[in-house]
Every structure is written in structure tokens, then in C-alpha cells.
Structure 1
Amino acid sequence: MDTLKAVLQAYSIQPFYIEKQTEHLYKVQDHYQQYALKQSRLTQETVGMWEQVYNIAYTDFLSLVLPVYLTKQGKLYEVQGDSIYYVTPWKGNSLTELDQPTIEKLFQSIGRMHAKTKQQQMVESAQLKRTFQHYKQHCKQLQQELLAAVEQYEKNRFMSPFELLVCTQFKELDYSLKETERRIEQLLYEQEENSTWYYSLCHKNITTSHTLTHQAQLYLINWEKASFDYSIFDLVTFFQQETSEYDAPIDLFMHGFDKYMDENELTKKELYLLVIQLLDPQAYLACVTAHKETKATMIEQIIHLQHIFRRILFGLHFSAYVDQTYDTIDLEDLDDTD
């Protein structure tokens, strides 16, 4: 507690009380208002990028970024011991109900941030082709491994619940791997046509728990993992985090994505890469491979497998939505015209 008080003293905050909210977050009340005090995971090597986020938010008017208070010395953070602390206004709780207006506003805000900070870069086509051809071969190997596991399970006179679940889900997993191969071919075709890619400021950890609403204003908090990267990775993180539960509002996410595209229209290559990431089968196969060796209970294994499967299933729904809603290429049609 003395450490927290020393941090607050650097901000000239005299607390009435300090209430622990999570392991690293504290709610602070003084004579006038409430604050959020965060013991961050930032280091001297990563804090520079975190500071850059706030400089960009100031110059580009990014209202999505929850502001931080300055210390008496004019710094964005305070160091105590081995930890870096920062203070923000206390803006209430994270989102609990994902209604359509809120989801649309979130995606609009993310799209606007990506668009405002977008920068262009050229990616060497031969290198990218090697990378994705290798990944395609890797997916084919995973497909063979999954088929071998299913065939082995089916030889058992009595399958375990986990094994039965894998066999039941095999059809969708097999299709997702074929869909991945199709999207890779589309991406490589587009790369041959245009080698330009774009990167933007990305939060890199967008979840509903890092989203706040206060008086009609929406904020993203916890920018500690932020970096410049392909904008689709923010979308991948959000979708994978939010679609693992059985009642995920998939239709709302699709509508939200349309609003994102209104603000930051992705290229065809970016759409294909987004789908490829959402269909990534590696976590599923790792779960199957570890089935006999893990110390997790059967129930824990099944829950974990279901979460991964739901994310992949969302990827299949999203891939179909991209085909229906946006102008994507069909390589078979191109072959027919040759």
C-alpha cells in the first residue's frame, strides 16, 4: 500500500481509499473524483511504444484511447521499484451486454483508428509466396494427422467423450482446412497483382473486458501490447476472444464488421488473410495431440476443444459471409477463362 501511495503522490492525488479490483488494477477515490491506478506489465523496452500510442492519440484525435493523467513531472507514468504505473480516469465497468449499437460503434471506432494511422509498405512477393506455400503444406500435414487420429479413435470399441467429440467435429475441421487452402491461393493470386500492404496502429488485445463506455463515449483501455501491424490482427484477436462461447452474437459481429469496412475498407488480400487467421487449425490439432499426455481432466479437455472449435466454426461462417458480401475472386472461374 505504501508503494501505491507513493505512486499517487507523484500525481498529487491524496486518496480517501484504495480498493483493489484485480491483481494489477486499483480504484482510487480522493476528495474530487475516482481514478484507475494500473500496475502495468510494461518494461523499459516496451514503454516507448506505449507512450507513442498517446502521442498518436493526441495528434490524430483518437477518442477511442482512454487518456492517462500526467505526473507532476509531466510524465505519462511513474516507476516504483521494478514496476511501471499509470493513472486514468475511472470510467465504470467493461461491456456486459453486446447490443448492436454498441458493437457497431466499437467496430466503427477501431476502423477509424486503423484508417487514421494507416501506412503503406511493399512486401516482396517471392518471400510471401514461400511463407504461405509452406503454411499450406503444414495444413495438409495437420489434415493427415487429424484423419489418422479419427481413424484410430474409430477402431476403439468404446470411444471416450473427447474422442467422440473429435470424430463428430471432423467434417467441419476437414472443410476448414480445405477452405484455408483456397484462401491461400486467392491471397497469392492477389499478391502477384499488387504487392502493396498496409499497417496501422493496433491495440493487439481487443476484448470486451478492455472496452468501456461512459456517457455515450466508447474507450479501449490497456494499450500495453500495442504496436504497428496489419490491422486484421486486431480483428482476429477480438473475434477469437469473443466467439469461443456457445452464445456468441455472431450476427452482431458480422454487422459490426460491415461498419468497420465503412471506415477502413480492407483489400482482398487483407480479407483473405483475416479468414486464414480465423481458420487456423493449429490449436485444435495441438489439443488432439496432447489428449493422452495432458494432466487436464476429461471435462477440461472437452471445454478447451469446444472453445477452439467454435472459433474455427465462426471462421467458416465469416468466410462464407465474405464471399456473399464482398467482391472476392474465384480462381476456378479464372482457370475456366484461360
Structure 2
Amino acid sequence: MNDSNRLEAIAPILKNYLVEPYFVEDNGIVQKVYSNKGTFALKKIDPTIGTDFVRHVHLLYQKGFNRIVPIYPTMDGRYAVLYDNNLYYLMPWMPNDQKEDREHKNQQLFRELARLHTLSAKEITVNNEERTEHYEKTIQQLEKQQEFLDGFADECERKTYMSPFELLYCLYYNEISQALKFSKTKFEEWYESTKEAEKARMVITHGKLSSEHFLYDDRGYGFFINFENARYGSPIHDLLPYISRALDTNPKRNDTTIEWMYHYFKYFPFKEDEKLLFYSYLALPIPIIKTTEKYYRKQSPKNELKFVRQLQHRYWHLKNSEYTVMRMTEIEAQQRQTKEGAQQQLD
């Protein structure tokens, strides 16, 4: 689509804002619009998510959270325009040319995420039957995964000559199994600590948390974008995918990721049951189990080199996650001991 066609395509939408476009840059689902009223970002989204998205953003504004890129209303007060079977909304264009290191950006991101969760937090009534059903289904699933790990290890060891993947899997088997058992233990502890609770804490989650979705304005303030997947849920739903991606590297002691978490906890401390659930999910070795299942189900001939590389990469992720969880549980234990020691001195 050339420039004039792009202008023609969006002009009817911008008419609702009394904005006259001069030039448009195509950025996929986002158009950068130069106009008589300044530079804007016009974004296209699926109409099915539009209502919830606008409602959640409005609620956050009302709660005093202003670190979302503003959404401009049309002249008749709507916050999105339905046009040609798509929904569009208009925002200011963020320059995002702040020159600072990634670490500082993540510190800001986690602080603002904690504020978002704090301002939107609410207690909801929990159905004990549904919680028990969720617990039993999850335990059953974890036990099936353990059965698969055990069975595949036995099958490999019965062979006279293992494939390179099978040999590597057998070397990793004990650590994968230990991670799965640790995850199951923490999940059981979570259930024991919450099975009598009538309430649970929910927050508005961003839904697609990423450093690419945290932009800076010309004053250097950070703002979240891409709120279309926002919904009420556990704060873990924001943190877990972000932390997991950060740990998807070569093996290393990722203390920086732990610092992000405790920076977040400074502004939005997790309750004990939330920590147990977070540790359970973070320790869960799903990526390496999926790679092993994919190899097991794949018909011959198999690309051994490709599968071995995948298995090794997933193993590194497992070890990085293991270090993070173990270090955080150590810190928690030290904090408890310090608190108990201080209390004993007072007594």
C-alpha cells in the first residue's frame, strides 16, 4: 500500500477525532500519523477484546494509575472506532529515545508494574470446590509428566546403543525429575495454606508484559502500551512469563533477575501463598518436558542435532530457573531467621 492509499484508508477513522493526516508511516498494526494536531499512533485491534480493554484502562485511570499511554476519545466520547470490521484507537506517539541501560529500564518497569498491581488489587471470594478441582487436576497432570519422564528414561536405558538425544536425556533425567518434584511440593504447600481461605487477591494484569511495551515520553517517564490483553488475575500471570524469558539464556547465575523481583516486592509484597505458587510455576520444567515429548512422538528419521541443541538449551533454562528459585527461597529463609531472632530478643 502506497502513502496516498494509506492516507485514504485511515482518514475516515481520524475524522472522528477531527484529525487531518498529512503523512502516515506503516508499522504493522500501528500507524504513525503526522497530522494537523501533532504526531499520533493509530492502533488496530480485534473488536472482540475492545470492550474489556477500554474498561480496564478506564478503571486504572480512575484508580490514579497514569503510566499508561493515554487513549484519546473521539469527538462524541468513544475511546475506539469500529471501521471495516476492525477496532482502532488513537494515542500520542511516544518518542522512546531515552538513552539508558537496560537494567535501569527494568527497574522502572517493575516499579510501575508493582504500582499498577497495588492500585488495582482487590479481594475476591474463592469457590473451594473449584480450587480443590484445580488442585487435583494439576497434581494428576504433574504425576503423568513424572510417569512419562520415568518411562522414557527406562526405555532409553534398555537400548544397547542410545541416540545422542537419549544419552543426553539420561544425563539430565535426575535434575529434570527433581525440578518437577520440587514444583509439585511447592504446589501442595500452596494448596495446604489456602484450602480454608475464602478470599484471594486479584489485580489487573498487563497480560503481555515486555520491555518493548514500556516506552518513554520526551520527559523521560515510562509508560505501558499494549494493554489489549489486560484482565483481572493473579500478579503471577505478569511476572512469570517475563522472568522465564529473562532466564532463557546460556547458563549463568542471574542475580539481576532476582534483584528485579525484590524491587517489585518492595512496592507490592507477595503473600506467602503467592510466593509458593510463583516458585512452583517457575521451577516447573515444562519446556524440557515438551521437547522430550516432541522427540518421543516424532517419527523417524529424526534430526538428532536439532533435538540435542533444543534439549541442551531447555536444560540451561531449567538450571537458570533452579538457581533463581533456590536463591530466592534462601533469601526468604534468611529474612525469617532474622525476624525470629529480633523477636526473641524483644521477648
TM-score class normalised by the smaller sequence: 0.7 to 0.9
Larger Rg: 2
Matched, 1:238 2:242: yes
Please say which of residues 175-184 and 69-78 is displaced more in the overlay. 69-78
**2:60/2:119 contact within 8 Å kept:** no
Relative to the length of structure 2, the TM-score reads 0.82
SS in 2 for 1:197: strand
Q: Which amino acid aligns with 1:10?
A: N
- CA RMSD across the alignment: 3.0
1:158–1:30 CA distance, 2 compared to 1 (3 A): farther
Please say which of residues 207-216 and 163-172 is displaced more in the overlay. 163-172
Displacement after TM superposition at 1:161 (Å):
4.5
Distance in structure 1 (CA, Å) of the matches to 2:332 and 2:239: 17
In the alignment, which residue of structure 2 is the partner of 1:41?
46
Q: Which amino acid aligns with 2:46?
A: R
SS in 2 for 1:120: strand
Q: Which runs of 5+ in 1 are unaligned?
A: 330-338
Q: Which amino acid aligns with 1:243?
A: L
SS in 2 for 1:204: coil
User: What is the aligned residue count?
Assistant: 326
In the alignment, which residue of structure 2 is the partner of 1:333?
none
In the alignment, which residue of structure 2 is the partner of 1:90?
93
In the alignment, which residue of structure 1 is the partner of 2:266?
262
In the alignment, which residue of structure 2 is the partner of 1:211?
214
Distance in structure 2 (CA, Å) of the matches to 1:263 and 1:113: 10
Please say which of residues 111-120 and 316-325 is displaced more in the overlay. 316-325
User: Which of 4, 20, 32 is matched with 2:10 structurally?
Assistant: 4
1:129–1:3 CA distance, 2 compared to 1 (3 A): same
User: Which of 26, 31, 35 is matched with 1:30 structurally?
Assistant: 35
Please say which of residues 286-295 and 69-78 is displaced more in the overlay. 286-295
User: Which of 141, 144, 147 is matched with 1:144 structurally?
Assistant: 147
User: Which of 181, 185, 194 is matched with 1:182 structurally?
Assistant: 185
Please say which of residues 168-177 and 95-104 is displaced more in the overlay. 95-104
**1:212/1:218 contact within 8 Å kept:** yes
SS in 2 for 1:326: helix
User: Which of 292, 295, 318 is matched with 1:291 structurally?
Assistant: 295
In the alignment, which residue of structure 2 is the partner of 1:13?
19
Distance in structure 1 (CA, Å) of the matches to 2:287 and 2:306: 15
In the alignment, which residue of structure 1 is the partner of 2:344?
none
**1:125/1:191 contact within 8 Å kept:** no
Q: Which amino acid aligns with 1:141?
A: K
Matched, 1:79 2:82: yes
SS in 2 for 1:37: strand
Distance in structure 1 (CA, Å) of the matches to 2:175 and 2:98: 31
Distance in structure 2 (CA, Å) of the matches to 1:83 and 1:47: 10
Relative to the length of structure 1, the TM-score reads 0.84
Identity of aligned residues (%): 19
**1:233/1:274 contact within 8 Å kept:** no
Distance in structure 2 (CA, Å) of the matches to 1:309 and 1:220: 32
1:261–1:181 CA distance, 2 compared to 1 (3 A): same
Distance in structure 2 (CA, Å) of the matches to 1:268 and 1:144: 30
Q: Which runs of 5+ in 2 are unaligned?
A: 1-5, 337-347
**1:95/1:208 contact within 8 Å kept:** no
More helix by share: 2
Q: Which amino acid aligns with 1:172?
A: E
1:84–1:168 CA distance, 2 compared to 1 (3 A): farther
Displacement after TM superposition at 1:209 (Å):
2.1
1:124-143 aligned within 5 A:
124-125=127-128, 127-143=130-146
User: Which of 246, 251, 257 is matched with 1:253 structurally?
Assistant: 257
Distance in structure 1 (CA, Å) of the matches to 2:210 and 2:312: 19
Distance in structure 1 (CA, Å) of the matches to 2:259 and 2:147: 36
